[in-house]
Structure 1
Amino acid sequence: MTPPTPAPPARRTVGQAARAVERATAALGRLRHGRRLLHPAGLSFAGEVTIWGTPGPPTGVALLDDPGRYAATVRFSRGTPTPGGWPDVLGLAVRVHSRTDRPFDLLVSSSGAAPVLRNLPLPRRGFTGTYSTIMCYRVGRRRLWLAALADPDSVDLGRTLASVAAAARADAPRVVLAVASAVGPWRPVGQVSIGAPLDPGEDAALAFDPVGNLPPELRAAGPLTWLREQTYRGSRRARGARAQSGGSTATTV
């Protein structure tokens, strides 16, 4: 029997570093007694994603280019969290229950809308505003950013998680999904409607994978993608969660 060929030194080093980051993150997560290491304070909701289709040139991602409706799970969160309505890096996570075996986990953070600011997480007070992926994706050789933008016709979400929950009870808040190149304008492709809140147990069980849970044509890119992947994996490991834990199991609406 031929012995296995040892991995090249560079690949072994990367693998060792990945395991070290994952173990360190898992250890920090255990110190938090199973609570999320990233964006620990949040509220989750049932939702629906409506894709209108891409205006102008297609992105090459079928889920964004082709009109459709999908069940979704939506989570608003605070990054630190800071007290009350103080500025914080706010988060919005949308799990699109697509027609494939794997959901699409879109995680966006409060940012600016202009090209020079869409790469930066920016603290702000209110949950209504621009959220972007910060790091880009690649579709073939092209780079793509995704965002959730304020819908001017939707109810304001306020400055606290409690105000987001109140808005969801009073109305069906919406945010607009959009795509852009590195320097181009945002192009709206659909919307996310926010529905009934999930109970705290469902929110606690929900676990996202922003690197692994992507449409087949899309891949995460950028210098911090590797670190993000290991950090989320370690956080899930500490919580005993899988990359598709929690949220609705419905596939389409």
Structure 2
Amino acid sequence: MAVTTPSAVERAAAALTRLRHARLLHPAGLTFTAEVQTWGAPGPPTGVPLLDLPGRWPATVRLSKGVPTPGRWPDVLGVAVRLHRDPEPPVDLLVSSSGAPPVLRNLPLPRRRFSGTYTSIMSFRAGGRRLFLAVLADPESPDLGRGLAEAGAVVARDEPRLVLAVASAVGPWRPFGEVRLDAERDAAEDAALAFDPVGNVPAGLRLIGPLARLRDDSYRGSRRARGAGLSRSVRRG
């Protein structure tokens, strides 16, 4: 097997991760067991099985703060969802707080509350179509509240739900599934969890844009420095 020399971005990400003794991106977070159910997006098929077909999988969900800012201060909030599909590799969906309208879908927006719209920020290519993925607040579900501690308390007493949705660059959000949060996992499991937003994309989707390689190298460097997720074929939550 050929050995790939780490890029400058990957080396820098690894060095910064060692310096802070935590993830380079979204170091503060809580991890939960969950279940994902999909029913297929309404309207024209996307050609992506996860978005078009019904299914149900156990999942791991991480709520996080990007910088992180102190306590309940505004921050770029994150939701990471891993679908466990043994014996197939997992699927990782990573989204950040942003705006729902088309002009705001690729712009991270700081927020105080774990509610509202989270998008993939970067777009995907499915055949000849450009798509964005999102996690949306479910208006019929308990609100996750403000700050990580409050979100953890909400999950402990309820089973809050989040909506999975897809949209074209200018079209409306089309819900295709939901995430139901369950029990919080301990801090050691949270620290060991390693997501791969580029290598573990759903079948039929491909990240596009100039930032895709930068994101891939940054996450790879952070994982390498933490000794987490060194092999895409065997990595688990």
**TM tier, smaller:** over 0.9
Moved more, 137-146 or 94-103: 94-103
Moved more, 80-89 or 202-211: 80-89
Structure 2 CA distance for aligned equivalents of residues 216 and 175 of structure 1: 22
1:26 aligned residue: 14
Structure 1 CA distance for aligned equivalents of residues 51 and 166 of structure 2: 9
RMSD: 1.4
Letter in 2 for 1:123: P
2:97 aligned residue: 110
Letter in 2 for 1:211: V
1:231 aligned residue: 218
Superposition deviation, residue 19 in structure 1: 1.5
Structure 2 CA distance for aligned equivalents of residues 99 and 57 of structure 1: 29
How many residues of Structure 1 are paired with residues of Structure 2 in the alignment? 231
Q: Cα deviations across residues 20-53 of structure 1 (Å, max 9, x unaligned)?
A: 11111111111122x1010000000000001011
Q: Give the 3-state SS of the residue equivalent to 1:179 in structure 2.
A: strand
2:227 aligned residue: 240
Structure 2: 5+ residue runs without aligned partners?
A: none
Q: Give the 3-state SS of the residue equivalent to 1:116 in structure 2.
A: helix
Structure 1 CA distance for aligned equivalents of residues 236 and 150 of structure 2: 23
Alignment of 1:49-198 (within 5 A): 49-98=36-85, 101-198=88-185
Q: Cα deviations across residues 143-190 of structure 1 (Å, max 9, x unaligned)?
A: 110000010001011111111111101110111000000000000001
Q: Percent identity?
A: 67
TM-score if structure 2 supplies the norm length? 0.94
Q: Give the 3-state SS of the residue equivalent to 1:190 in structure 2.
A: strand
Q: Give the 3-state SS of the residue equivalent to 1:27 in structure 2.
A: helix
Superposition deviation, residue 59 in structure 1: 1.1
Report if the CA contact (8 A) 2:98-2:118 is conserved.
yes
Superposition deviation, residue 101 in structure 1: 1.8
Structure 1 CA distance for aligned equivalents of residues 141 and 50 of structure 2: 24
Q: Give the 3-state SS of the residue equivalent to 1:138 in structure 2.
A: strand
Report if the CA contact (8 A) 1:51-1:190 is conserved.
yes
TM-score if structure 1 supplies the norm length? 0.88
Structure 1: 5+ residue runs without aligned partners?
A: 1-14, 248-253
Alignment of 1:8-19 (within 5 A): 19=7
Which of 201, 213, 219 is the equivalent residue of 2:206? 219
Superposition deviation, residue 99 in structure 1: 5.3
Report if the CA contact (8 A) 1:206-1:245 is conserved.
no
Structure 2 CA distance for aligned equivalents of residues 84 and 235 of structure 1: 24
Report if the CA contact (8 A) 2:39-2:55 is conserved.
yes
Which structure has the larger Rg? 1
Structure 2 CA distance for aligned equivalents of residues 215 and 187 of structure 1: 17
Superposition deviation, residue 246 in structure 1: 4.6
Letter in 2 for 1:46: T
Structure 1 CA distance for aligned equivalents of residues 124 and 85 of structure 2: 18
